[in-house]
């Protein structure tokens, strides 16, 4: 995924499906380098991870 699309998803009021390693995630924040983002799993777990945005896929 590209940084501009991550920014669009973060500013959107719509629920946009994003997948990381086959798992549905929410994007919490795009980091200043615009190459990494903080995400967390959809659902009850609130564990956050920092990932390369190139590994995020929009469904």
CB 31 within 8 A of CB 14: no
pLDDT at 57: 97
Sequence-distant (≥ 6) Cβ neighbours of residue 37 within 8 angstroms: 6, 27, 28, 29, 30, 31, 50, 51, 53, 56
Domains parsed from the chain with CATH numbers: 3-58 (2.30.30)
In this prediction the pTM is: 0.87
pLDDT at 12: 96
Sequence-distant (≥ 6) Cβ neighbours of residue 10 within 8 angstroms: 27, 29, 30
What's the chain's Rg over C-alpha atoms? 10
List pLDDT tens digits, range 11-59.
Answer: 999 999 999 999 999 999 999 999 999 999 887 667 899 999 999 999 9
């Amino acid at each position: 995924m590209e940084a501009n699309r991550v920014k669009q998803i973060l500013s959107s009021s719509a629920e946009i499906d994003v997948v990381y390693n086959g798992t549905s995630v929410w994007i919490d924040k795009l980091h200043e380098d615009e190459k990494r983002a903080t995400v967390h799993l959809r659902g009850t777990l609130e564990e956050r991870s920092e990932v390369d945005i190139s590994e995020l896929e929009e469904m």
